[in-house]
Amino acid sequence: MEIQYFFELFGTLFFGISGALAADEKSSNDWFGVTFIAFLTSIGGGTIRDILLSVKIIWIQDVNFIYAVACGVILAALFYKPLLKLRKTFMLFDTLGIALFTIVGMEKALNLGIHPIIAPVMGMFTAVFGSIIRDMMLNEVPIIFKKEIYAFACLCGAVIYMVLWKLGVTRNINFFVSGGIIVAFRLAAIKYNLSLPKFKSH
């Protein structure tokens, strides 16, 4: 199996953990409610990507993605306190999820012949739409509308991937380098409270 497939499975797992923790923390949902939010968080971005690309929706074709969400929910229940601490402190699972999904989404777009300028946008959509759906379902302001750097980190990592791709860097190395840059950028933004300039000062 290709590394892209494992990246998407692990991204689904991480977003499953993130969605489950967010759902329980917000409203102490029952198992069904938590699993439902975890599912939307995990598959939301990939579903929108596949619809936009006019291809078969991946989780409908491959039951392993359902298993990945289920594993995320179970891990969140078994290791609730330490995982919740990591989520609150570093937004760790969102960060890992967006790194993996950005690269996977962009690769899928490139393989379908999408223009290299559009492909990074598709990667960003894959990464952030699950979190947007989660936040809306939990009646919170979506994270991309907050001051912290989130979607921009995905876009930067996607652009770096494109540059390395043009330079002929080996695909697997490019996956890890570009994904690592997204994680590093996101964690640095959280630690040092970095944000983009405001569109307009009030």
CA 117 vs CA 2, 11, 34, 135: distances in Å: 24, 23, 37, 28
**Stretch (H or E) spanning 179:** helix 171-191
Instruction: Name the pLDDT band for 1 (thresholds 50, 70, 90).
Output: low
Distance CA 38, CA 140 (A): 15
Q: CB–CB of 147/195 below 8 Å?
A: yes
Delimit the domains of the chain by residue range. Answer: 3-191
Could you report the per-residue pLDDT of 150-174, keeping only the tens digit for each?
999 999 999 999 999 999 999 889 9
pLDDT for residue 90: 61
**Stretch (H or E) spanning 37:** helix 31-52
Could you report the per-residue pLDDT of 37-76, keeping only the tens digit for each?
999 999 999 999 999 999 999 999 999 999 999 999 999 9
Closest Cα to residue 154, out of 177, 194, 185, 133?
A: 185
Judge whether residue 29 has pLDDT over 80: no
Closest Cα to residue 66, out of 97, 105, 38?
A: 38
pLDDT for residue 85: 86
Could you tell me how far CA 121 lies from the centroid of its own chain?
Answer: 13
